[in-house]
Amino acid sequence: MPRHKNYVPHGVIPAVILPFHDDLSIDEASFRKHLRDVAAIGGLSGITINAHSTEVASCTFDEQKRVLDIAQDENGARLPIINGIWADGSLEAARIARMATAGGASALLVFPPATFTLGQSPAMALAHFKRIADASDLPIIAFQYPHATGQGYPNETLLRMVEEIPSIRAIKDWAGTVQQHEWHVRTLQSLPRPVTVLSTQSSWLLSSLVLGCKGLLSGSGSVIPDLQAALFRAVQGNDLATARGLNDRIYPLASVFYAQPWADMHNRMKEALVLLGRLPRAVVRPPLVKLEAAEIQKIKSALVEAGLLSKAKARDAA
């Protein structure tokens, strides 16, 4: 299976969505088309699967393996594939890591165990990541949640993790506050062995990137990978005027995608892809449910404001 050796997570990495049939089975044909659509955009440095955006919590181990196989078949030779590790137990996390490694993934995105909402210690976090690192030689991206969730790693714990587990090469930063986010950027990217900060602050992406992130990993990249790639290039090139113009286009979409409840963010992205003619249907697995017509109308209006959907096509999609 294709694998990009010595891959260091960086740059623009969209997290793709996973289409389903009306019977809730995976729509493989639509998934393949979606992968091709995203990968056709220039300026990307990877694609993420088996994550929030693909509704991984509702997917079995065998389904996750199939998602990886399809992604490798479609895009593995062109772009590194980052495979999510979503598991509450460390043994299952290691099992998924072995599967992803054998399947040709180039990096692992490790979600925090849900049990950490009840409290965590540094020893727990280290044990979880060491179990995964022992199961795979792939670089690890640690998903950093807001501290208020209980699943975010305190600063001291995070520093011990990156010191004691060399395969942690990046974090997906969902810190939630500017102050914590800036600490990550200033501290982790300046270590003797730098750890890349990948922003997932998609509701305030321009502000986040200006702080100095070396990349971004976002589910909204399933809809706007071109705008994200252009924004990242503009910020890296210190072209603030261009960056602001791109942000003006992204802002209406970020406002509707990341409205409450946040659990519907990728549900909304599926609806956007249907409105754009890139998906045949927007089916989600329970406990998620179909969005109401009024909310779909807001997504349509945001697509028009962002310049992605003409007013004529918006009327046709009514």
Based on C-alpha coordinates, what's the Rg of the chain? 19
pLDDT in tens, 238-288: 999 999 999 999 999 999 999 999 999 999 999 999 999 999 999 999 999
Residue with tokens 């100095």: 212
pTM beyond 0.85: yes
Using CA atoms, how far apart are residues 181 and 169, in angstroms rounded to an integer?
A: 17
pLDDT at 1 over 80: no
pLDDT in tens, 142-175: 999 999 999 999 999 999 999 999 999 999 999 9
Q: Is 13 helix (H, G, I), strand (E, B) or coil?
A: strand
pLDDT in tens, 184-226: 999 999 999 999 999 999 999 999 999 999 999 999 999 999 9
Model pLDDT, residue 3:
75
Residues in the chain: 318
Using CA atoms, how far apart are residues 22 and 212, in angstroms rounded to an integer?
A: 43
Model pLDDT, residue 318:
57
CATH topology of domain 11-240: TIM Barrel (3.20.20)
- In a 10 Å sphere around its CB, with 0-12 CB exposed, 13-18 middle and 19+ buried, how is residue 209 labelled? buried
Model pLDDT, residue 314:
74
